[in-house]
Structure 1
Amino acid sequence: MRHWWTRAADYVLELILGAALLLVGLFHIVFPVLGVAGPWASADSREVRVDAAARLPGGMTSTAMTLRGSDRAELVLADPGLGQRLLLVLPVAVGGLLLVVVLAVLLRMARTFRDGDFFVPENTRRLTVVAVALMLLGVLVPLLYMMTTNLLVRGEPMAAAIAPAQDYAVLPVFLAILAAAAAAAFRNGTRLRADTEGLV
């Protein structure tokens, strides 16, 4: 009974990871890319942070874009061109791609759990890939948001009112540290198992 339940749990885990991989791929990569160059509705706005010293009472408008709100405001582009749509979608697509990498690697790891063999050399390398991808998700994606926002508002009157984003994603960085620690544990487990097999 326990063996049957363990195998069923492994298949459920693979199903959940596969569904998450599909959803992230669709909503963070495929649909945003279709919005840039395809028939899908294109992105035309982004949430930004307004400098506390330049709070806006209602909104600030130019011919190309509008900044509405204060503190957390919405930057709306009137008729974004291809380059502007690319800048709007780039951080979302890069973050989605990194999530796809993490989920795909975790799915491959989950498939090795069916045999009850966790400490295989491939899983050590996979956890290292997960750690690197999560670190990039926590550091690179916020930097992309900041850089692309600066490029979008360059030369516009509201450029001085938008504060640079300084909030890095703490959770992915923390998870990256945990994944790196797990990779070290898997590496030690693999080494111990190889030493034990050599003694038999």
Structure 2
Amino acid sequence: MRVPQSIVNLGRWSRTDALVLQGLLGIVFVVQAILGMVIPLLGVVGVLDLASSREVPVTGVAAPEFPDADGVQLSASGSAALTVDDPSFSQRVLLELPTIVGAVLILLGIYLLFRIARTLCLGDPFQPRNPLRLFGIAILIAVGSVAASLLQAVTTDQLVAGTPLADHVPFSVEFSLLPLLVALLVAALAEAFRIGVRLREDTEGLV
């Protein structure tokens, strides 16, 4: 069985290309770890004074009226900034938890990409584990997008629970189809890699 030329060409990445990709992924990993985990965690324990507000949907509040200026109009949206003055430890956890969880999922995805890039550096991109790594990335993207929105809604609900604001801040979860479409594309790429692995194994079996 003949391996498609496109699959053969993919294995011709130069070592320099793969090393550059690994280096870039390493830099992104470190930056994401600092911005998405270290700084928020320092904010949770009180070492850093981070912003204690977030945008939330609101209901039951009259929107202000703005004057019409020569046909240019300004209208209020159904959202507001929820600010917590001098937040307690538990409130800081609720404020930073979505960021930290999102960062963990992103770091896992970068780690899987790094492992794939390492196989490119070794000149063997069609290792049996690479399709699984790509499927893992697809799952992280799909689950992460849903988990981020849900966690944002849950933590916001807990922040306003037991306060007069609870009547005006509804439990609202917003989902975007874009991450799910990206996850499907990555899953399709994983399937292509799986076929490439099988074709390579079949070819080696004929030698």
* Contact kept? 1:32, 1:43, Cα under 8 Å: no
TM (normalized to structure 2)?
0.82
Q: Matched residues in 2 for 1:71 and 1:11: separation?
A: 48
Structure with greater contact order relative to length (CA < 8 Å, sep ≥ 6): 2
* Cα offset, 1:181, TM superposition: 1.3
Q: Matched residues in 1 for 2:134 and 2:177: separation?
A: 19
* Cα offset, 1:118, TM superposition: 1.6
How many pairs are equivalent?
A: 186
Name the residue aligned to 1:124. 131
Name the residue aligned to 2:180. 173
Q: Matched residues in 1 for 2:13 and 2:148: separation?
A: 39
* Contact kept? 1:55, 1:161, Cα under 8 Å: no
Kindly provide the amino acid, as one letter, of the partner of residue 100 in structure 1.
L
Q: 1:16 aligns with which of 21, 24, 31?
A: 24
Higher strand share: 1
Kindly provide the amino acid, as one letter, of the partner of residue 105 in structure 1.
L
Do residues 143 (structure 1) and 141 (structure 2) align? no
Query: Which segments of 5 or more consecutive residues in structure 2 lack a partner in the other structure?
Result: 1-11, 66-75
Secondary structure in 1 matching 2:47? coil
Name the residue aligned to 1:63. none
User: 1:56-80: per-residue Cα shift (whole Å, max 9, x none)?
Assistant: 549xxxxxxxxxx853321001121
Query: Which segments of 5 or more consecutive residues in structure 1 lack a partner in the other structure?
Result: 59-68
* Cα offset, 1:160, TM superposition: 2.2
Name the residue aligned to 1:198. 205
* Contact kept? 1:43, 1:88, Cα under 8 Å: no
Q: Matched residues in 1 for 2:46 and 2:161: separation?
A: 26
Secondary structure in 2 matching 1:54? coil
TM (normalized to structure 1)?
0.84
Determine what percentage of the aligned residue pairs are the same residue.
41
